[in-house]
């Protein structure tokens, strides 16, 4: 049993957001000791040529990235990189700082190895985060910046709100993701429509030549999802990140509530099959037309292997780190490498998309 597994029952006695803040402080502390940081990096970062890829001009030395929401303010870039991630998606960042929803707002569903979060884009705002990005520039691995919309901005002003954030942050991301799918900002998911996606990508291409992604919800009606993604591809999106959290509360026995209403979105193992199913559909329709990044309930190398087979070039994880601890990325990379070897696959390129059934 790993040290983290022994510690977990104790950690889980405390509020989830508080424990997250403790983890962030520990990482911040470790970054003050370069020897400690390089020791952690040496023991966690596995470099296998067979797992590395160049995508949109960026070098990913393995397929596993950190999903958006863990480091909202770019406060732990180096410590997180030293855990073995090949890329980090920071944010979501909004143009103006905001506090998010009332606490408590992160809940564990321990039996289901899942999390329910109703944070509501608590972050320091684009200018606040810019300062942290500048401190860490140039970055040691590709850094994605995930942009969300401020809660108090009326729908008609959404585009401008995204534009101002992108303008502020454009020099400090290796790629940008437009988050249209968090369930915690009222109306945000309604922006997953063809007309807004066209305006958004036109606006963004005029500001930057860097790769642009959109992040979608797992709860969209399938035809509508396909239409929105098709339009995004026509407008030269670099890729689709699927998926954000789900509001299908039937997946947990006792969803957390506020004022008698279910709140937030579910991540972790309850999301695994839904997120895999969405990727399967995206792979069938858009493989080779755009880059697919799969996220949602990924907790093992076997699951990563399957997502790659279904057409994902990269994956992201978050909740599996809550349940598996800081060494999950390392173990996933080692296991994935072993699995490729066992199956006689020389490079993950050969695996990606092999499980797509176009019938
Ligand atoms: C605590 C928490 C905060 C999150 N915050 C964001 C966010 O700010 N922006 C975003 O695009 N997704 C956010 N997400 C969604 C994750 O990026 C990811 O899409 C989702 O959790 C599914 O992956 P997982 O099952 O590996 O956690 C958040 C998820 C959690 C659990």
Domain boundaries, the chain: 3-351
Distance 359 CA to ligand 1 centre (A): 32
| CB 119 less than 6 A from any atom of ligand 1 | yes
* Cβ of residue 62 lying under 6 Å from some atom of ligand 1: no
Predicted local confidence at residue 293, as pLDDT:
99
Q: Are 145 and 169 in contact (CB under 8 A)?
A: yes
Which residues contact residue 121 at a Cβ distance below 8 angstroms, ignoring those fewer than 6 apart?
Answer: 72, 92, 94, 98, 100, 148, 149, 150, 151, 182, 184, 185
Among 67, 191, 321, say which to mutate for ligand 1: greatest number of ligand atoms within 8 Å of CB.
Answer: 67
Q: How far is the CA of 138 from the centre of ligand 1 (A)?
A: 25
| Gap from CA of 317 to ligand 1 centroid (Å) | 8
CA 211 – ligand 1 centroid, Å: 21
Ligand 1 atom 5 nearest Cα: 69
Q: How far is CA 268 from CA 13, 43, 207, in A?
A: 19, 26, 35
The pLDDT, as a whole number, for residue 275 is 98
pLDDT of residue 358: 75
pLDDT value, residue 184: 93
- Other CB atoms within 10 A of residue 297 CB: 26
Ligand 1 mean position, distance from CA 344 (Å): 34
The verdict on the CB of residue 290 being under 6 Å from ligand 1 is no
Indicate which residues carry an active-site annotation.
Answer: 182
Peptide bond preceding 92: is omega within 30 degrees of 0, i.e. cis?
Answer: yes
Ligand 1 atom 29: the closest Cα is on which residue? Answer: 69
The reported pLDDT for the residue numbered 1 is 81
Q: What confidence score (pLDDT) does residue 63 get?
A: 98
Collapsing DSSP to helix, strand or coil, 335 comes out as: helix
The number of the ligand 1 atom at minimal distance from the alpha carbon of 121 is 8
Which atom of ligand 1 is found nearest the CA of 72? 8
Protein residue closest via CA to atom 7 of ligand 1: 69
315 CB within 6 A, ligand 1:
no
Return averaged pLDDT per consecutive 10 residues of the chain, 359 residues in all: 93 98 94 93 95 98 98 97 98 98 98 98 98 96 98 96 98 98 93 96 98 98 97 98 98 98 98 98 98 98 98 98 97 98 98 91
Tell which CATH architecture fits domain 3-351. Alpha-Beta Barrel (3.20)
Residue 92 in contact with ligand 1 by CB distance below 6 A: yes
């Amino acid at each position: 049993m790993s040290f983290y597994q022994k510690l977990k029952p104790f950690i889980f006695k405390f509020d989830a957001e508080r424990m997250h803040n403790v983890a962030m402080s520990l990482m911040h502390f470790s970054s003050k000791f370069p020897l400690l940081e390089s020791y952690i990096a040496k023991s966690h970062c596995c470099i296998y040529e067979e797992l590395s890829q160049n995508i949109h001009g960026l070098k990913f030395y393995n397929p596993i990235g950190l999903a958006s929401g863990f480091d909202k303010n770019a406060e732990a870039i180096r410590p997180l990189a030293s855990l073995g991630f090949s890329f980090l998606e920071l944010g979501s960042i909004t143009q103006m700082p905001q506090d998010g929803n009332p606490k408590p707002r992160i809940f564990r569903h321990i039996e289901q190895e899942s999390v329910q979060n109703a944070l509501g884009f608590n972050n320091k705002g684009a200018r606040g985060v810019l300062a942290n990005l500048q401190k860490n520039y140039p970055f040691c691995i590709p850094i994605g910046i995930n942009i969300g919309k401020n809660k108090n901005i009326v729908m008609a002003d959404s585009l401008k709100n995204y534009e101002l954030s992108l303008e502020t942050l454009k020099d400090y991301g290796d790629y940008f993701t437009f988050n249209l799918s968090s369930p915690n900002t009222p109306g945000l998911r309604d922006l997953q429509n063809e007309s807004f996606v066209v305006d958004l990508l036109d606006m963004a291409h005029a500001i930057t030549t860097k790769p642009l992604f959109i992040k979608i919800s797992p709860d969209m009606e399938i035809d509508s999802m396909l239409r929105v993604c098709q339009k995004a591809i026509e407008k030269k999106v670099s890729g689709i990140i699927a998926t954000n959290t789900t509001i299908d509360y039937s997946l947990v026995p006792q969803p957390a509530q506020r004022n008698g209403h279910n709140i937030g979105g579910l991540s972790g193992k309850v999301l695994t099959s839904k997120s895999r199913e969405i990727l399967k559909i995206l792979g069938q329709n858009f493989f080779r037309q755009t880059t697919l990044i799969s996220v949602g309930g990924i907790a093992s190398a076997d699951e990563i292997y399957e997502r790659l087979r279904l057409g994902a070039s990269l994956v992201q994880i978050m909740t599996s780190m809550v349940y598996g601890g800081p060494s999950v990325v390392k173990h996933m990379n080692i296991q994935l490498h072993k699995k490729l070897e066992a199956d006689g696959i020389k490079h993950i390129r050969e695996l990606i998309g092999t499980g797509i059934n176009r019938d």
